[in-house]
Amino acid sequence: MSALRGARLTDPAAEAGWGAQERPRMGFFTDTSVCIGCKACEVACKEWNAIPEDGLDFTGMSYDNTAALGASTWRHVAFIEQNAPVGNQEAGVARAREQVAQVEEAQGAQRVDLGMPGIGPDPAGGSQDFRWLMSSDVCKHCTHAACLDVCPTGALIRTEFGTVVVQEDVCNGCGYCVPACPYGVIDQRPEDGRVFKCTLCYDRLGEGMEPACAKSCPTESIQFGEIDELRERAQARVEQLHGAGVTQARLYGEDPGDGVGGAGAFFLLLDQPEVYGLPPDPVVTTRDLPRMWRTAGIAALGLAAGFAACFAGRRR
Amino acid sequence: MSPEVTREGPQDDRPGREATVGSAGGRGPGGDGRWGEGRRKRRGRRGEALMVPRAEFTSYYGRPVIKEPVWEERDIAGYFFLGGLAGASSVLAAGADLTHRSTLARTAKVGSAVAISASLVALVHDLGRPERFLNMLRVVKPTSPMSVGTWIVSAYAPAALVAAASTVTGKARPVGALATAAAAAAGPAVAAYTAVLVSNTAVPAWHDGHREMPFVFAGSSTCAAAGLGMLGASLTDAGPARRAAVVGAMTEVVATRLMKARMGVARETYETGSAGRLMTTAERLVAGGALVGAIAGRRSRVVSAAAGAALMAGSACTRFGVFRAGVASAKDPRYTVEPQRARLASGAGSTQQSHA
């Protein structure tokens, strides 16, 4: 636990007992600026990992009907519709609306609202600015993983690739990891009882293959590789975008000094993390655990002392 | 659209992941980017509601950031109460034995044995795979309060059961005395570790109370055990229970108030909804029970029993209130995002922002 107090953990796999076996830590860099929201990653993940269907719902909030990561959703593409520009790019939304209005007037036609985003009244009042943010979310495979720390059975393990994986033959479904995850990734499959999450395709990695989602991504928004190389690539990419005028571009989760010691799956975002449903400053809960144990020890001693005092108070 | 390859090399090659998104178009950096006639009047306004409700913070369609606990309230909040009752009762039982208060000792020992037995049933029942409950004993992990708790309870439960059996049957008294002492030694840990268990999560109403939660739980456990003692022991034997009730109630009320005061926005979850009602009821019941017990408890068996029952009910209300506050704080992204955003704004964030 001393490692949780400030010190940087550069090689989580070696610290977890794999030893220095020259195997680099693997992870994802998800560059959301080139995500087109095709959801190929969601499908590829479901197919490869044989994940059961978990609800064909219509959320009514956007083109995102997957809604969130969960026990049976290990990749989730978020869709955010904004009246904001992407760098210097012009969306031409107002002109499009103008043209639609002209057609309506000429033909006396009326638009029918089918509940799809972007059809209602123009919320920006004729603004030119419009963008879709799309981002494929995934388990962060934290350097300091709360799920792994709190697992009482040892079902959650650190693999030789530095990733975090649930051993399904060990998990007894205690559910502790679920509220422990600061990102809300891992969840219990109700009909099964056990918890499930992204394995970073542990089985494929063992064969030298890249994870199914990265393999299927048509725009290379999901990039798989060695963490160190991905960090360099991410830094170069954010500088490139800043140079192109996309000043909102920022990296999320790549900093080894953050509250989870750096994520094994990090992102390039075009807005604040919470817009994508990500916590802005996640902290592994076990960072405060040594202090909690001390406090509980004092409280337990206090309880015993309190009772002792009540008996010592007046002898019969 | 694959690149066309000619004698001059590849033509129309697409930049792929190097695509400079956002650099296209006629708007220069700093330009206002307007074209056409600029803003035009809105028409056809039909007054639909915004997709995302306006709020001071932003979120992804109001969806929660973290997952709410999957634990069954009856099982886990119930266990927090029963485990606390059992652990504190074992301490009370040892004191009663040492001071020869036989009815108090008997009540506390039987109570702790029943409570810990019910706890084990609830804990196994709550597992997604109950048949695998023994997997809890595969490892010893100080980073997992549930693992530590499993070992504490594994040591405690047999002792509590033997202590009760010996008292009820009157047999094997030396073994019973040893078991009573062992249960009393492990009891405070049983009562307090569950506070660490809930605090050691990303749930704002739980984690943000981690400095005070052990005292809330220890106080609540003391109230429950004292209440049971007042309910079951003779008036002459119940003196220490009445005094313990005052100590427990004061600890619980002060620790809870302190916890809420130091918590930040998540305190709202302890003050609103069903969690708020449970916490208010809990405070009234434990304070009232302790007060009535201390003033009038030694004169009337009925008053003593009523005060004891109020203390136990108050203790249970606290645990269910804490549980529900946690669930409520997990459901609303505001309680996760706002404190983290404030932390970053104050420069105390755990991330050193390397990019503006």
Query: What confidence tens digit (pLDDT) does each residue in B177-217 have?
Result: 999 999 999 999 999 999 999 999 999 999 999 999 999 99
* Inter-chain residue contact A306 with B126, CB threshold 8 Å: no
Of the listed ranges A100-109, B250-259, B315-324, the least confidently predicted one is: A100-109
Tokens for A219, please give them.
């725009």
Q: How confident is the model at residue A124 (pLDDT cuts 50, 70, 90)?
A: low
Please state the ipTM of this predicted complex: 0.90
Residue B176 has pLDDT above 90, yes or no: yes
pLDDT digits (tens, 9 = 90+) for A269-305: 999 999 999 999 999 999 999 999 999 999 999 999 9
Of the candidates A98, A303, A314, the beta carbon closest to that of B40 is on A98
Q: CA A137: distance to chain centroid? A: 5
**Taking the model in full, what pTM does it have?**
0.89
Burial of residue A15 (number of CB atoms within 10 Å: 0-12, 13-18, 19+): middle
pLDDT digits (tens, 9 = 90+) for B252-264: 999 999 999 999 9
Contacts of B63 in chain A (CB under 8 A): 67-68, 277
Say what the pLDDT of residue A243 is.
93
In Å, how far is B55's CA from the nearest CA of chain A?
Answer: 12
Of the candidates B25, B33, B214, the beta carbon closest to that of A296 is on B214
Instruction: Check: CB of residue A133 under 8 Å from CB of residue A78.
Output: yes
Say what the pLDDT of residue A131 is.
87
**Parallel, antiparallel, or unpaired: how do β-strands A195-196 and A187-188 relate?**
antiparallel
Of the candidates B28, B127, B330, the beta carbon closest to that of A173 is on B127
Interface contact A105, partner B, CB < 8 A: no
Q: Half-sphere exposure (CA, 13 Å, Cβ side) for B208?
A: 25
Nearest CA in chain B to A258: B351
Residue B111 has pLDDT above 60, yes or no: yes
Nearest CA in chain A to B335: A279
Nearest CA in chain A to B149: A152
Please tell me chain B's helix, strand, coil percentages from 3-state DSSP, rounded to the nearest 5.
65, 0, 30
Query: 3-state class of A87 per DSSP?
Result: coil
In Å, how far is B293's CA from the nearest CA of chain A?
Answer: 14
* Inter-chain residue contact B69 with A179, CB threshold 8 Å: yes
* Inter-chain residue contact B98 with A311, CB threshold 8 Å: yes
Nearest CA in chain B to A77: B60
Say what the pLDDT of residue B24 is.
64
Strand partners, A79: A134
Instruction: Check: CB of residue A147 under 8 Å from CB of residue B66.
Output: no
* Inter-chain residue contact A310 with B138, CB threshold 8 Å: no
In Å, how far is A238's CA from the nearest CA of chain B?
Answer: 9
How large is the average pLDDT for residues A109-113? Answer: 73
Q: How far apart are CA A235 and CA A250, in angstroms?
A: 9
**Parallel, antiparallel, or unpaired: how do β-strands A265-269 and A26-31 relate?**
parallel
* Inter-chain residue contact B188 with A285, CB threshold 8 Å: no
Say what the pLDDT of residue B10 is.
64
Of the candidates B46, B67, B199, the beta carbon closest to that of A120 is on B46
Say what the pLDDT of residue B55 is.
43
Q: How far apart are CA B224 and CA B85, in angstroms?
A: 5
Tokens for B272, please give them.
């609103």
